[in-house]
Amino acid sequence: MVRYRRNRIAGGTYFFTVSLRDRRDDALVRHIDLLRASWQKARSRIPHTVVAAVVLPDHLHAVVRMPETDADYSRLWQEIKKGFTRRLQNAGPSPWQSRFWEHTIRDDDDLRAHVDYVHFNPVKHGLVARVADWPYSSFHRYVREGELPADWGIAATISPMHVSECT
C-alpha cells in the first residue's frame, strides 16, 4: 500500500476534505444522525476541536485542531468513517473514498480563508443561495457566538476569489 506523506504537527490545525466513493450519493445528509454519532464516538477516542465543518450530501469539509500531544488525524478519520459505515444498516463495503485530502493551516489568514471556504461551500455547490439556509454547518455556531452575522455568505456578497482560494 502506498504511504502518503502527510504533515503531522502535534497541536496543529488542519483543513480536510473527506468524500464518499459515489459522488452522486447523499448518504451523509440522509444519515446525518449516524455521522454525528460516529464523530462523537471518535471524539471520545481521539480528542480534537472542530473549528469549522460542513456536511454536504457526498462529502464534508472540516477544520480541525488536534491536541498539543497528538497529530494522528488519520486515526480520527478512520474512526469516523468506520463508525458511520458500521451504523448504516446493510452497508456492505465502505461508502467512503479510502483517502482524504489534508492541508496544514499556516497562519490566521489561512485559517480565516479555510473557515470561510467551509461555510460557503453549500452555496458554491448550488445547494442553497444563503449560507444560513444550509443546516449541516458550523456556521450556525459562529452566528450564535457572535463571530459572524446571520446574513453572511449570500452568494452575491462574497468575493469569488476569496472563497476559491482554498480549492
Give me the active site residues, please.
136
Q: How many CB atoms lie within 10 A of CB 8?
A: 15
Cβ(59)–Cβ(28) under 8 Å?
yes
In the numeric block, the cell 453549500 is attached to 122
Report residue 133 as a C-alpha cell: 439556509
Q: How many CB atoms lie within 10 A of CB 92?
A: 7
Smallest CA-to-CA distance from 16 within 134, 85, 96 is with: 96
Instruction: Tell me how crowded residue 4 is: count the other CB atoms within 10 A of its CB.
Output: 9
